[in-house]
Amino acid sequence: MKRLKGISFPSEYGRFENPEIEDLPLPERVVVPLVSRFGEMTPLVSPGAHVLAGQIVAKGTEKWFPPLVASVTGRVSSITPWPTGTGDEGPGLIIEPREKDTPPRRDDLPQKNLHETMRWIQAGDIREVDPSPLPLALRLRKPELVPSAFIPSLPELETSIHSLIINGIDRQPGIWLRKAMIKLFSTELIESIPILREATGATKVFFAVSKGYALEDEFARALRESGVVVVFCPNTYPIALEPLLVPFLTGQELPVNSGGSRQFGTVLLDVVTALKVRAAAYGETPSLDTVVQFTSPSSGLDTLIRVREGTLIEDILKHFSLSEKGLAKVLHNGPFLGTALHRLDVPVTQETDSIILQTEKEITRYSNEPCMNCGYCVRHCPMKLLPNELSKNCEYGRFDAAERMDLFSCIECGICAYVCPVNRPMVQLIRFGKQEIEAVRKEA
Amino acid sequence: MKKPEFYVSMSPHLHSGDSLKKMHFETILALFPAIFAGWLFYGGSALLIIALSAVTAVLTEFLWQKAIGREIRIGDGSALITGILLGLILTSENPWWIPVLGAFVAIVVGKQLFGGLGSHPFNSAVVGWAFLQLSYKGILTNFPLPDPKFLLQPGEFLSDPALITLKDSGVEEIVDLPWKDLFLGNVPAEIGTACVLAILLGGAYLLYRRRITWHIPFSFIASAWVFALIFQQIDPETYASPTFHILSGWMLLGAFFLAPEKGTCPVTAPGMILYGIGCGVITMIIRLWGSYVEGVPFAILLMNAATPLLDRIKPRTVGRIKEIA
């Protein structure tokens, strides 16, 4: 295993000795975005229609994209443009929950037929926090399970899978959702392993956790018995991200813009997704609700909540009786990789892992100081880039020079901006350069 | 549509809290043992030299930035460090105008003419020293005897700086010089280069705080040591031992404080190692065969000039692989 660059961060274990999940009551309305990582979706219901929790309400443009499932039973009141967690806007399906609903459950369990299980996983509308160009239900399939109609357009699925990585490391400092989920759902995690193993046909199964994380004896033994290799990875951000974790565990480096590790025979999924796969295979609908870390340092809140998919952030605030006053920044998906939202009526979806509230005092401001070439960013860059040069090139509009220095290898982890002693907006400039180049390409 | 009410910005939304001020404060802290040793061995006049140089440096920076209408940035401490470092590489017996003139040149010519912090290619303190060295060579070679502590006798072994003795009188003079004298500072030297122990303490602190990495100091010292060792093995009658070279003169101050100055040294690991090796080898070439006694400042200035080139040597980007499946 190679030495990793990045920033070390203290393990935040004390924060979830006894993790608990608080269930939020049904909100007055949920908003299910009709746009996802896999493009816009076509609604199958019209305003006024009654939907059941678990019912498929929209489908993607390609038949392998996950469908959209209603998370509550109620009436579709309208389809209107709505802000999303990425800071953009897209059509949203607004559903008003009618009454208390009981999520549907299949009875013919446990399912022995692998094809049937795969169909359930596909229909389960499982979405991930980690961006992957391939939907989970496809990525998981060994070549024999891939319908031949998909192969021409998705040649990467022809590779057979050798390694399966279940990622229990949190994406970034300050987030502890996955660590808590392992603790809370260890039995279910063990149950997910045979399903995943059968679907992928992987010979090696890795379970990645942070160094120092205390696995419960029973859980560790169960993992060992099911032939899983537990790897304790350094507490270094951004080890949990695919371009770093896959080479760390398997030795396979992922080329720039290669479209993920699936084409190299590796399937990476996090523990939350593994739990959802298990739920789908056990006849539940995994996409109805989602567990999110909700943190507000100023009011001492740092907790896990379970909400229906599409619950608005303002409803969560209301539940904790937090006022908007004094609130300066709302972070969707963490301090390093997340988006700052400009409003509170953004729905929480499965692609959300955390909501962090910052007050005026906690905000970080960047400045336009000149670079002094101290080299801290170079020292910490996990992709071994030269962020100092890249940011200068992007700042002065020398995009070609930046691209020659592997601008597009940057995974935008944000470490360069985090460590910069003159507070330069390093990764922000790099991102700007990428966008400029892509805009020019689009025009051409 | 409600109007936006929150701050929006691109990620990351956190900062380590590091700043230039902190960085420079820690560097000054690391220089304290050397300043203290200077005061211990050379008395109050050493402190006066450092103070004159530091005050002039800060004042010059202030006036310059005022004059050309730039933002006043003396608060970040970089001018202060330049001033202190210049004071440390002068001897304690100098007329008052020597550190003042040196600091002025260091700031104006060495730093501000190039655009200020981060833009100057050469270590500004060394530029100031080089100006003084070229202009007032006679004054700078005025080395007082230290007033040593730790039961050492003043002038017991050497009454001139070690490297000058070596150059003038040959290896025999220094061959039985105890290393303790060099290590603790019982030889005439500049204020900050006298006590090797003090410099090592400061350097260790900088390494511990990760303000510098091991690459430059290690490759600087190791390459000089190996280079000196080779020639000592060839002809021990002519060439001094490698350890003598490491412990004498500016070697350690250069390796820990002058060569790794931010902005004037390369930033990639291979670049830093090559830079250190270059510094070490050039230092030894000048020391062994040059007309100047001390090679460190010129080695650093030469390698500073090579920094943009060395910065082009970068490690392979992760994911930059040829075969794409």
pLDDT digits (tens, 9 = 90+) for A357-376: 999 888 888 888 889 899 99
- Region A223-237: mean pLDDT is 91
pLDDT on residue B3: 56
Chain A: residue whose CA lies nearest to B323: A255
Q: How far apart, in whole angstroms, are the C-alpha atoms of residue A143 and residue A151?
A: 9
pLDDT band at A169 (very low <50, low <70, confident <90, very high): very high
Task: Please check the confidence at residue A1 and state whether its pLDDT lies above 50.
Answer: no
- B68 in contact with A at a CB cutoff of 8 Å? no
- By Cβ distance, the residue of A247, A338, A419 closest to B11 is A338
Q: For chain A, what is the total number of helices (H) and then of strands (E)?
A: 13, 20
At a CB cut-off of 8 Å and minimum separation 6, what does A366 contact? A417, A423, A424, A425, A428, B9, B15
Interchain contact, B5 vs A324, CB within 8 Å:
yes
> Is there a domain that residue B37 lies in?
yes
> Is there a domain that residue B258 lies in?
yes
Express each pLDDT in A314-332 by its tens digit.
999 999 998 888 889 999 9
Instruction: Please give, rounded to a whole number of angstroms, the shortest distance from the CA of A393 to a CA of chain B.
Output: 14
Residues 57-116 of A with CB under 8 A from B: 87
Residue ranges of domains in chain A, CATH in brackets: 7-15+119-281 (3.40.50), 27-99+288-360 (no CATH), 376-443 (no CATH)
Q: B319 — alpha (psi -120 to 50), left (phi > 0) or beta?
A: left
Task: Please check the confidence at residue A429 and state whether its pLDDT lies above 50.
Answer: yes
pLDDT on residue A269: 93
Looking at B140, B162, B184, which one is the last position of a domain? B140
> Is there a domain that residue B72 lies in?
yes
- A418 in contact with B at a CB cutoff of 8 Å? yes
Tens-binned pLDDT, residue by residue, of chain B (325 aa)? 555 578 888 889 989 888 999 999 999 999 999 999 999 888 899 999 999 999 999 999 999 999 999 889 898 899 999 999 999 999 988 899 999 999 999 999 999 999 888 889 999 999 999 999 999 888 887 888 877 666 666 666 777 788 888 888 888 888 778 888 888 877 888 898 888 999 999 999 999 999 999 999 999 999 999 999 999 999 988 899 999 999 988 999 999 999 999 989 999 999 999 999 999 999 999 999 988 888 999 999 999 999 999 988 888 888 776 544 4
- B172 in contact with A at a CB cutoff of 8 Å? no
Looking at B104, B121, B140, which one is the last position of a domain? B140
- A329 in contact with B at a CB cutoff of 8 Å? yes
Closest-CA residue to B224 (of B297, B168, B276):
B276
Do the beta carbons of residue A129 and residue A333 sit within 8 Å?
yes
Helix/strand/coil for A218: helix
Same domain? B126 vs B28? yes
A–B interface: beta-carbon pairs under 8 A:
157
pLDDT on residue A399: 94
pLDDT band at A413 (very low <50, low <70, confident <90, very high): very high
Which of A364, A367, A428 should be substituted to probe chain B, the one whose Cβ sees the most B Cβ atoms within 10 Å?
A364
Same domain? B25 vs B117? yes
For residue B193, what is the DSSP state?
T
* Angle of CA points A30, A87, A294, to nearest 5°: 60
Max Cα distance, chain A (Å):
66
Q: How far apart, in whole angstroms, are the C-alpha atoms of residue A94 and residue A51?
A: 11
**A36-40, A434-438, B254-258, B279-283: the lowest-pLDDT one:** A36-40
> Is there a domain that residue B209 lies in?
no
Interchain contact, A378 vs B7, CB within 8 Å:
no
> Is there a domain that residue B133 lies in?
yes
Looking at B122, B140, B158, which one is the last position of a domain? B140
pTM (2 d.p.): 0.90
Check residues B262 and A98 and name the one with the higher pLDDT: B262
- What is the phi/psi pair of residue A431, to 5°? -65, -40
Closest-CA residue to A357 (of A292, A278, A419):
A292
Chain B: residue whose CA lies nearest to A371: B118
Rg (CA), chain A: 22
HSE-up of residue A55 (Cα within 13 Å, Cβ side):
17
pLDDT on residue A253: 87
pLDDT band at A61 (very low <50, low <70, confident <90, very high): confident
Helix/strand/coil for B30: helix
Residues 205-244 of B with CB under 8 A from A: 213
Residues, chain A: 444
Closest-CA residue to B183 (of B291, B321, B37):
B37
Q: At what angle do helices A114-123 and A271-281 cross, to 10 degrees?
A: 120
- By Cβ distance, the residue of B23, B115, B263 closest to A373 is B263
- By Cβ distance, the residue of A263, A366, A371 closest to B118 is A371
pLDDT on residue B322: 55
- A420 in contact with B at a CB cutoff of 8 Å? yes
> Is there a domain that residue B196 lies in?
no
Give the DSSP per-residue string, B67-127. HTTPPP-GGGSHHHHHHHHHHHTS-S---THHHHHHHHHHHHTTTGGGTSTTT-SS-HHHH
Domain encompassing residue B245: 214-312
Helix (H) or strand (E) holding A426, with range, is helix A426-443
Express each pLDDT in A388-410 by its tens digit.
999 999 999 999 999 999 999 99
What's the ipTM?
0.88
pLDDT band at A235 (very low <50, low <70, confident <90, very high): confident
Do the beta carbons of residue B48 and residue B68 sit within 8 Å?
no
Do the beta carbons of residue A135 and residue A154 sit within 8 Å?
no
- B262 in contact with A at a CB cutoff of 8 Å? yes
* Angle of CA points B197, B200, B204, to nearest 5°: 145
pLDDT on residue B267: 93
Do the beta carbons of residue A417 and residue A425 sit within 8 Å?
yes
Interchain contact, A372 vs B262, CB within 8 Å:
yes
Q: For chain B, what is the total number of helices (H) and then of strands (E)?
A: 15, 0
Distances (CA, A) of A6 to A21, A234, A236, A383, B19: 31, 10, 6, 9, 19
Give the DSSP per-residue string, A42-101. EESS-TT-EE-TT-EEEEESSTTSPPEE-SSSEEEEEEEEEE-TTS-EEEEEEEEE-S--
Closest-CA residue to B194 (of B231, B239, B139, B154):
B154
* Token duo for residue B105: 């040149």
pLDDT on residue B324: 47
> Is there a domain that residue B4 lies in?
no
- B312 in contact with A at a CB cutoff of 8 Å? no
> Is there a domain that residue B103 lies in?
yes
pLDDT on residue A3: 57
Express each pLDDT in A241-293 by its tens digit.
999 999 999 988 888 877 788 889 999 999 999 999 999 888 888 888 899 99
Report strand pairing: A301-308 vs A289-296.
antiparallel
Do the beta carbons of residue A306 and residue A339 sit within 8 Å?
no
Domain total for chain B? 2
* Token duo for residue A94: 């607004």
Cβ neighbour number for residue B97 with a 10 Å cutoff: 13
Do the beta carbons of residue A138 and residue A146 sit within 8 Å?
yes
Mean pLDDT rounded to a whole number for chain A: 88
